[in-house]
Amino acid sequence: MKNIAYIGIGSNLGDKIKYCNEAIKEIPKYKGNVILDQSSFYRTEPWGKEDQDWFVNCVIKLQTPLSAPDLFKVLQEIETKFKRVKRDRWGPRTIDIDVLFFNNEEIDKAEVHIPHPLIQARRFVLVPLNEICPEFIHPVLNKSVRELLEKTGDEKEVIRI
């Protein structure tokens, strides 16, 4: 079965663009994953924990034979490979990889929450998502990515690189 997932990727430590590019190259190495599209990179103001360096963020569209929980595990393995350490919530990281959407599924388990619960509140996710899938309908909020971006209250800076 071929599933479609939208994946958010970000970094705010070291060579941020290099970390993002290397993570993107890792994803297709796992069990038939195929990257179908990729947004531009964006320089983004920190969200949630503001006393840290700005991020580089992007979104990819992925075709995968994996289930959502299995994809989540693969992405965690990639984060570990990049020595991601989870110290502070929303804190600095070499790489952060999140499943934003998985088909039109709603999954609410201890380890996996899809759609990502904060998509509508984050310009750094909505702007690159809007670049590659403006008409995608959020399966819970029943609004397109474009509508979510237009209505978000987040005013943090998101600058195309």
pLDDT digits (tens, 9 = 90+) for 127-148: 999 999 999 999 999 999 999 9
- State the pTM of this model: 0.93
The pLDDT of residue 89 is 55
Query: Which of 114, 17, 14 minimizes the C-alpha distance to 66?
Result: 114
Instruction: Kindly report the backbone phi and psi dihedral angles of residue 106, in degrees, each rounded to the nearest multiple of 5, phi listed first.
Output: -115, 120
Q: Which of 75-84, 116-125, 139-148 is least confident?
A: 75-84
28 contacts 34 by C-beta, under 8 angstroms: yes
Upper half-sphere CA count for residue 119 (Cβ side, 13 Å)? 31
How many domains, the chain? Answer: 1
Strands (E), the chain: 3-11, 34-38, 42-44, 55-64, 96-102, 107-108, 113-114, 158-160
Which residues are known to be catalytic? 84, 93, 96, 98
What tokens were used for 90? 């929303």
pLDDT category of residue 91 using cuts at 50, 70 and 90: low
Domain housing 39: 3-160
Instruction: Tell me: cis bond preceding 115? Omega within 30 of 0 counts.
Output: yes
Domain CATH number, residue 63: 3.30.70.560
